[in-house]
Chain A
Amino acid sequence: MKAKNSLPILSRESLRGRFKKERSRLIFFATCLMLGLATLTFLPRLSVPMGIAYILHLILSPLLPWMGRLKINKTISVSILLFIFGFFTLYPIIRVVPLVQTEVGSLHSYMPKIESFITKDYRKYSAILYEKTGIELKDHYVIDTFEFLKGQIKVGILYIPQLLALLFEWMILVPFFLFFFLRDSRMMRNLLLSIAPNVIFERFYFLTHEFNRKLGDYIFAKFIEATLIGSIITIGLSVMGVNFWLIWGIIAAVTNIIPYAGPILGMLPAIVVSFIEYGIGPTFWGVVLLFVIANIIDLAIVFPILVSKIVDLHPLIVVVSVILGSQLLGIVGMIVSIPLAAAVKLLVTEVYKEIYLTASK
């Protein structure tokens, strides 16, 4: 063991050479990342199925170690997992699609009834208003709204073949990407890490790992939450014998993914239609009560246990990020805003620690 008192003094040339090497590593790494991100941004046909496959990989990959413990080869366990997942995804879709189709069909034929009801009520109330105050309401707002809705439905119907083609493409690409993400994710990660410069290696690895874990946990928790709420509402409505119970259940499950505004959005169509259908009576109040109970279960039990511990964001940040997300990317933005906000929080915390806490030491 040699006795030394300070760091070795290095020549200027070697120092410059070392800096150049590390800088070129940083530039190469940043270029690779930017190129990858740019490719994904400008090729949505590739990035959307890849994104879906990546999210599914985050949900399914925790199951792989269980199969590994049974000494099953990785390729075989990935194939088995994909097969089981495909069966449990496709089977309900195949079973539910005809049911949804008939319900949508009857809802479509139901539209004139809703239209006439609203127009009739509107006329009644506008007449009362005219009698009492002398103010005459103009009809065109109601008519315009229905024209707009009809136009949107027509556009939707015209878009269906394109949507089906896209879905068919995804049905092939998503399992394809998912298979390789599940089987080779470690190899891909190691490849990316091997070009990461030494200066940022530890932090980069730790941050990406934390982000992946948070994203995976959040999506898994939200998936469970949406399924639970959707099931409660679907079962409750079907027991009460409310029309279109399946559609309202699916809508409640899907909108549940959106924080705060989601439950109200999911509740509105069911309540409006049951009001029109049954009037203010036991069925209407039953539907309202069911939605309130489902949301209380969500807010009091499911959300605190499953979701809030994972994300740990202030409600103000949640609302702001959801609004920002909806502004930038629409519904998709509302869904991905929370995990993205959590990722930004993680990054900001790390940078804060690096700048302030390290400097103050």
Chain B
Amino acid sequence: MAYEKSIIERMKSGDSEVDRIDMSTLRYMWLSNPFFAHNKDSLPKFLRDVLILKNFTENELRVLSKYMHTRSFSNGDHIFLQGDPGVGFYFILSGKVDIFVDDKVFEPEASGDLRYVISLIKGDYFGELALLQNNSVRTATATCMEPTSLLGLFKPDMENLINERPILAAKLLQSLSLIVTKRLFSLTSEIAHMKVQLAQYESQK
């Protein structure tokens, strides 16, 4: 309206005739139109807020979202169980997912209960190792604690991405390797800390 008003005012005052269309304004108005496909697509907007994808451009996020699948789960549904073969990496679009580990798998003498590990909410991700491993097996159980929507990227999508959009695939693999490196670093520190504790414990004995 402001644009129209300024044109009318300029025409009334007679200082300048409108002889051509202002293309940049027109383009802005066209792109901000609510029916424009770009604005209806909320997945790239969601991905924009995901921390590990911060080095992606808007267009790359739009392309990446086309390779992903939205899956809906009810409250209490298991997304996967520990020991299941896995091929998917998930982002939480909405809802809440709890991760549990069955210690009996690693230590037969452990108690039968599932150990709660972490709660994940909108914007969090899990299952990234499945994309990087061959014959990957899930190391934990993921359960929805409320109606949940997930955005999944699976091994076949990753293969297609590598073949069709190699630059985008390289960026995604870089992000995934960052996650894995971070985890490896924290694990190494944890093990070093535990070794020190063990040495102290043994010297006290």
Contact = CB atoms under 8 A, between A and B. Distances in A.
B164 interface: yes
B170 to A, nearest CB: 14
B52 interface: no
A206 B145 contact: no
Contacts of B84: 358
Contacts of B155: 206, 209
A202 interface: yes
Contacts of A15: 76
Contact of B113 (A6, A21, A203, A206): A6
Given A193-B69, A358-B84, A361-B83, A8 B76 contact: yes
Contacts of B65: none
A18 interface: yes
Contact of A5 (B71, B113, B141): B113
B69 A190 contact: yes
Interface in B71-85: 71, 73-77, 79-80, 83-85
A2 B71 contact: no
A202 B114 contact: no
Given A4-B98, A7-B100, A209-B156, A202 B86 contact: yes
B74 A206 contact: no
A68 interface: yes
A232 to B, nearest CB: 32
Interface string A178-204: 000000001000100110001001110
Interface in B139-178: 141, 143, 145, 154-156, 159, 163-165
Contacts of A223: none
Interface string A318-356: 000000000000000000000000000000001001100
A112 interface: no
B26 interface: no
Given A1-B119, A6-B114, A205-B154, A198 B79 contact: yes
A8 B66 CA distance: 34
A68 B164 contact: yes
A156 interface: no
B145 A8 contact: yes
A22 B72 CA distance: 11
Interface in A64-81: 64-65, 68
A202 B76 contact: no
Contact of B154 (A1, A2, A3, A206): A206
- Which of B73, B87, B105 has most chain A Cβ within 10 Å? B87
Contact of B164 (A65, A202, A358): A65
A224 to B, nearest CB: 19
Interface string B91-127: 0000000101000010000000111101100000000
Nearest to B69: A193
B44 interface: no
B71 A198 contact: yes
A134 interface: no
B151 to A, nearest CB: 13
Nearest to A4: B116
A43 interface: no
A307 B105 CA distance: 40
B77 A198 contact: yes
A62 B163 contact: yes
B115 A18 contact: no
B163 A205 contact: no
Given A193-B69, A202-B154, A206-B156, A10 B76 contact: yes
Contacts of B159: 209
- Which of A21, A22, A202 has most chain B Cβ within 10 Å? A202
Given A18-B74, A190-B69, 14 more contacts: A3-B116, A4-B116, A6-B113, A8-B76, A8-B143, A21-B74, A186-B66, A198-B73, A198-B77, A201-B71, A202-B86, A203-B85, A209-B159, A361-B83
28 contacts: A1-B118, A1-B119, A2-B119, A4-B98, A5-B113, A5-B114, A6-B100, A6-B114, A8-B145, A14-B75, A18-B77, A65-B164, A65-B165, A68-B164, A201-B71, A202-B87, A202-B154, A203-B85, A205-B154, A205-B156, A206-B156, A209-B155, A209-B156, A353-B135, A358-B84, A358-B85, A361-B83, A361-B137
Interface of A: 1-8, 10, 14-15, 18, 21-22, 62, 64-65, 68, 186, 190, 193-194, 198, 201-203, 205-206, 209, 350, 353-354, 358, 361
Closest 7 pairs (CB-CB, A-B): A209-B156, A4-B116, A65-B164, A6-B113, A206-B87, A10-B76, A361-B83
